[in-house]
């Protein structure tokens, strides 16, 4: 079985504001959600959680913020072969990581 690969992009609020229309054109309505205390990325340098919002779109969205938040990193993932990857590269937005999706839409569990 082939597991899907995704690319992850992490951008500040200023860059997200620039590309937000492109994201909405290709993904539909987007919003911003924090998983603080649930899915924290702990910075080795400070041992504190990265100020992070996930850009959400599609069927599994939760209630979130309508606009990017200054001082936060805004992260989104898209399939590695999606044409949006190339479109974003033309805007100098390059993936910061890749990942393999093992499961999507899981119920909450520890």
Query: What are the tens digits of pLDDT across the range 65-93?
Result: 889 999 999 998 888 889 999 999 999 99
Q: Which domain holds residue 56?
A: 5-100
> Is residue 106 assigned to a domain?
no
> Is residue 108 assigned to a domain?
no
The answer to whether residue 101 scores a pLDDT higher than 80 is: no
> Is residue 107 assigned to a domain?
no
Beta carbons of 99 and 5 less than 8 angstroms apart? yes
Number of structural domains found in the chain: 1
- What is the share, in percent, of the chain residues with pLDDT greater than 90? 35
- What is the share, in percent, of the chain residues with pLDDT greater than 70? 82
Question: What's the whole-model pTM score?
Answer: 0.78
> Is residue 105 assigned to a domain?
no
């Amino acid at each position: 079985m082939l597991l899907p690969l995704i690319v992850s992009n992490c951008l500040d609020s200023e860059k997200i504001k620039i590309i937000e229309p492109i994201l909405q054109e290709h993904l539909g309505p987007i919003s911003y959600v924090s998983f603080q205390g649930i899915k924290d990325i702990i910075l080795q340098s400070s041992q504190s959680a990265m100020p992070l919002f996930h850009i959400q779109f599609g069927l599994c969205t939760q209630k979130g913020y309508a606009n990017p938040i200054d001082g936060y990193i805004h992260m989104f993932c898209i399939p590695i072969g999606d044409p949006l990857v190339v479109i974003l590269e033309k805007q100098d937005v390059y993936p910061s990581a890749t990942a393999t999706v093992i499961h999507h839409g899981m119920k909450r569990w520890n």
